[in-house]
């Protein structure tokens, strides 16, 4: 375990010890304490028809989705050695789109702000879903890497034959982040755009990774070939292409 990851895990252990006498014997990892499929994100995915309640519950368990105190989803980054790297807190609207009035927040940032981590602490991030590598029943499954955690969850519900992981952003893909996947079948699925820059950027990483791993790393051309000019201008992802018309969530009764 790296020094930064050890510090983060030690900090979470200290937090558990501060939670009070009722919880002093609860030695579960923090992600287990926050595990929930009741976040705004999970509710929106079900309401919009991206997943059934059963699929969402399974996905929440498999991807260890958490919920913040104010309803945000926590996308924990846990590696294949069960080491917690960080957690991204995000907020979604009932239509399953991001709530851009509320910016994503890293758990490590909140801990630094609360003086529970050193101000110069920098977590070593990893792929979202990387812990799924430890699933020995899925050793032959192709690993598909997308940009957003939301897309990984949707496609895990709808295309479960793959192991879906996410970088958390187009610029978060690197050979180092892919290193734990060496030896597995990998397909990268970047979002599209009008210039093709996203595809080329991920294709370059795929070539470098393939050279290091000694086996091919594929890049999906589905979006580049099938997305319309309007869709490319909107920078859609694979979930947008495959499931373009989710149902509208029910209107809340005042």
pLDDT digits over 134-193, tens only? 998 899 999 999 999 999 999 999 999 999 999 999 999 999 999 999 999 999 999 999
- Reported as a pLDDT band with limits 50, 70 and 90, residue 202 is very high
Q: Given this model, what pLDDT does residue 117 score? A: 84
User: How far is residue 127 from each of residues 70, 131, 227, 249, measured CA to CA in Å?
Assistant: 25, 9, 26, 30
Question: What's the pTM?
Answer: 0.87
Task: Pick one of 1.20.1630, 1.10.3470, 1.10.1060, 3.40.1360 as the CATH number of 130-242.
Answer: 3.40.1360
Share of the chain above pLDDT 90, in %: 72
The answer to whether residue 249 scores a pLDDT higher than 70 is: no
Question: For 33-52, what is each residue's pLDDT tens digit?
Answer: 667 888 999 999 999 999 99
Tell which residue, 79, 81, 97, 84, has the closest CA to residue 33.
Answer: 84
Q: What is the DSSP string of 113-141?
A: HTTSS-TT-------BTGGGGG-GGGTTS
What are the distances in angstroms from CA 82 to CA 9, 28, 222?
11, 13, 33
Closest CA to 14 of 102, 114, 162, 142: 114
- The values of phi and psi at residue 117, to 5°, are -135, 155
The domains of the chain are located at 3-13+27-113, 130-242
CB 149 within 8 A of CB 166: yes
Of the pLDDT bands very low, low, confident and very high (cuts 50, 70, 90), residue 25 is low
Higher pLDDT, 247 or 95: 95
At 160, list the tokens.
């479960």
* H or E element, residue 211: helix 197-213
The dihedral sign for the CA sequence 130, 136, 138, 141 = positive
């Amino acid at each position: 375990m790296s020094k930064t990851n050890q510090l983060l895990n030690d900090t979470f252990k200290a937090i558990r010890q501060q939670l009070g006498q009722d919880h002093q014997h609860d030695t579960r990892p923090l992600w287990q304490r926050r595990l929930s499929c009741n976040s705004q994100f999970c509710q929106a995915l079900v309401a919009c028809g991206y997943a059934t309640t059963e699929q969402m519950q399974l996905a929440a368990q498999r991807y260890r989705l958490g919920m913040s105190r104010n309803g945000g989803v926590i996308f924990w980054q846990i590696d294949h050695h069960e080491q917690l790297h960080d957690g991204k807190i995000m907020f979604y609207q009932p239509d399953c789109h991001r709530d851009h009035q509320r910016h994503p927040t890293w758990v490590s940032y909140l801990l630094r702000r609360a003086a529970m981590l050193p101000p110069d602490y920098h977590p070593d991030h990893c792929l979202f879903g990387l812990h799924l590598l430890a699933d020995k029943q899925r050793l032959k499954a192709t690993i598909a890497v997308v940009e957003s955690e939301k897309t990984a969850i949707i496609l895990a519900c709808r295309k479960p034959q793959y192991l879906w992981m996410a970088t958390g952003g187009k610029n978060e893909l690197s050979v180092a982040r892919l290193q734990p996947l060496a030896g597995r079948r990998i397909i990268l699925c970047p979002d599209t755009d009008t210039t093709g820059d996203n595809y080329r950027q991920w294709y370059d990483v795929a070539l470098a990774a393939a050279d290091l791993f000694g086996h091919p790393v594929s890049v999906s051309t589905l979006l580049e070939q099938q997305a319309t000019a309007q869709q490319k201008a909107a920078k859609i992802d694979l979930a947008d292409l495959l499931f373009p018309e989710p149902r509208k969530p029910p209107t809340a009764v005042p």
